[in-house]
Chains A and B, each alone.
Chain A
Amino acid sequence: MTSRTDHASDGDVVRTIAALARLDIDEREAAALGRQFQSILKQFESLSKLDVTGVEPMVSASGAQSVLRDDVPVPSLPVDVVLANAPARVEDFYRVPKTVGGDE
């Protein structure tokens, strides 16, 4: 279990996690976050000491029922209303940086 918190506080692990979360962080932030993770996860280690053999995970607080509506089409929000918050648009579309043949 110790290895787990050590891992999380490692600057490299922090940077990997940040990349997964699409967050840019610099060296200084990575180091600070690593330290904070270590103290947070240390508090959390008590979880590993519990015996949870045979315990079902609780995935919902309202009972894991499946709810389906009748398959009846209803009007969507007007396109202009939805696109009013768009940082950039072209006609009825969101405009984003080039994704094919670009730098990624």
Chain B
Amino acid sequence: MSDYVSMDAHALRDATVAKKRSARDNVRDAFRVIDALDAKLHAFLTLDRDGAARRAEELDARLARGEEPGPLFGVPVALKANMCLEGVESNCASRMLEGYKAPYTATFVKRLIEAGAIPVGMTNMDEFAMGSSSENSAFGPTRNPWDTGRTPGGSSSGSAVAVAAGMTPIALGSDTGGSVRQPAALCGIHGFKPTYGRVSRYGLIAFGSSLDQVSPFARSVRDVELVTSVLSGSDREDSTCLDEPPYQSEPGGVRGLRVGVPREYFPDVLHGDVRARTQEALDALRALGCEIVPVSLPHTDHAIPTYYVVATAEASSNLARYDGVRFGLRRERGGLQGMFAATREAGFGAEVKRRILLGTYVLSAGYHDAWYGRALKVRTLLRRDFETAFEQCDVVVGPTSPEAAFRLGAKSDDPVAMYLSDILTVPVSLAGLPAISVPCGFVTVEGRELPVGLQIVGPHRGDARVLRVARAFEDATTHATRRAPVNA
């Protein structure tokens, strides 16, 4: 089992194809780690033991027959609970969808399975992906394996923890405003949000449709690249999916590459030691031959309000479908309208209600132009900031999160403080750009060492360039090799 926990997807796949291990061994080990740790960490909401066992058996039989193994052959994978796998409960960590079993499989999940990956279950998250800590899950928070009194970040909390704690070598999350990059940073792993539209959203339960992007977690950059190549590519079921072939890795190093450092990404709220780790990361990139270029993204301060207007507007529309008619919870009270209101009152948690109301407000007659219309224009300004910066540099680099993992409960009563934890990730989301969080060291908080992430942002469709820089950084440093101090 120690083998299983220490291997990335590449190593596990190679060992399985070489018949040193079987797909069944991998599934057995995945569930052993999950069973040993999940009472403490609460990464999973649903486990699919039967489905995983069945797929593993099939894969072993196919290999025995001499069939060509896929690029993720026999690799266990965790999926966020807003992703559809036919017949498995995907409840978005909401009472509203408790018991909901997807009637079909998402395009990206289908692609994972066709590549030989084995879904083991659905992971905990902030309800409907709204939050940055997992505290908005209706089923209780996920805990950070580096310190179980702290948040793993969110909203893709359980998927980040599954990878950080060695339950699965890879996992999928969804990133709307930082929901993969921020938990990756707080858990000491890699989390990559591809360019908006690079991965089909068909089968991802919607939050903010112009922002949502399926995104992988992994413990190595080569695994991030492998999973991205499997997930990406056009899909007739999603009209916003870019009509491009699957992701291809870009060879080469980073010598001569211009790394833009925006002064706005070092705000006052940035924790001092996070600033120091970021500076050291920049030194490492310089030592690799990169040129460090100061740049400016002058509208950064407006990104949080813009994001929370756009995302809540889209959410209020997307979540209108939860009315008690076709799926999920139903509470009857009088006629049809009474049923809608009673169902939504009982099914949604406090933050989801808050965002639906904010979104309804900014879209309502008399306020639409002043809030939503204006936010869409500021979104253009934020995108232009990046376009201007990318005239002077090849990638933009800064911290992923202003601080390391915070204590569970520290911000749960203060929505504004919680929203500010996304300050460094939402501008990238609004612009639709590719970005990865890579481990860049540790800070000591109250006697505990906690991981910190470096965010590397590329221009539109510059996914391969982002991952080329991440690969070079990973090769030159040892931050990503340290494992969370939990033992299965």
Contact = CB atoms under 8 A, between A and B. Distances in A.
Interface residues of A, number: 52
A61 B335 contact: no
Given A23-B341, A24-B345, A56 B361 contact: no
Nearest to B366: A7
B364 A17 contact: yes
A61 B197 contact: yes
A24 B339 CA distance: 10
A86 to B, nearest CB: 6
A37 B104 contact: no
Interface residues of B, number: 72
Given A40-B358, A43-B305, A4 B370 contact: yes
Contacts of B376: 57-59
Interface string A3-27: 0100010000110011011111100
Interface in A47-104: 47-48, 50, 52, 55-62, 66-67, 69, 77, 81-82, 84-88, 94, 96-99, 102-104
B21 to A, nearest CB: 35
Given A55-B380, A87-B328, A67 B239 contact: yes
A33 interface: yes
Contact of B354 (A4, A33, A82): A33
Contact of A97 (B320, B334, B374): B334
Interface in B328-377: 328-330, 332, 334-342, 344-345, 348, 353-354, 356-358, 360-361, 364, 367, 370-371, 373-377
B357 A17 contact: yes
B101 A84 contact: yes
A17 B325 contact: no
Interface of A: 4, 8, 13-14, 17-18, 20-25, 33, 36-37, 39-40, 43-48, 50, 52, 55-62, 66-67, 69, 77, 81-82, 84-88, 94, 96-99, 102-104
A97 B309 contact: no
Contacts of A21: 316, 344, 356-357, 360
A33 B353 CA distance: 10
A47 B361 contact: no
Contacts of B416: 39-40, 43
B104 A85 contact: no
B464 interface: no
Contact of B328 (A25, A48, A77, A85): A85
Contacts of B383: 58
Contacts of A98: 335-336
Given A8-B361, A24-B342, A94-B325, A50 B302 contact: yes
22 contacts: A17-B360, A23-B356, A33-B354, A40-B358, A47-B371, A52-B377, A55-B381, A56-B377, A57-B376, A58-B380, A59-B376, A61-B196, A61-B431, A62-B196, A62-B197, A62-B241, A67-B239, A77-B103, A81-B103, A87-B330, A94-B326, A104-B335
A36 B308 CA distance: 14
A88 B353 CA distance: 25
B14 interface: no
Contacts of B210: 59-61
Contacts of A102: 334-336
B203 interface: no
B432 interface: yes
B357 A14 contact: yes
Contacts of A66: 239
Given A22-B340, A23-B344, A47-B309, 14 more contacts: A21-B316, A23-B341, A24-B344, A24-B345, A33-B353, A40-B419, A50-B302, A55-B381, A58-B376, A61-B210, A61-B431, A87-B330, A97-B334, A104-B334
Contact of A47 (B306, B323, B358): B306
B373 A57 contact: yes
B184 to A, nearest CB: 21
Contacts of B301: 46
B103 A52 contact: no
A85 B103 contact: yes
Contact of B432 (A39, A56, A61, A81): A61
B378 interface: yes
A25 B415 CA distance: 19
A47 B356 contact: no
A36 B194 CA distance: 33
Given A22-B344, A62-B240, A87 B381 contact: no
Interface in B261-320: 299, 301-302, 304-306, 308-309, 316, 320
A44 B379 contact: no
Nearest to B334: A103
Contact of A87 (B101, B324, B375, B380): B324
Contacts of B339: 96-97
B387 to A, nearest CB: 12
A103 B211 CA distance: 40
A3 to B, nearest CB: 10
A61 B427 CA distance: 12
Contacts of A60: 210, 240
A14 to B, nearest CB: 7
B337 A104 contact: yes
Contacts of B371: 4, 44, 47
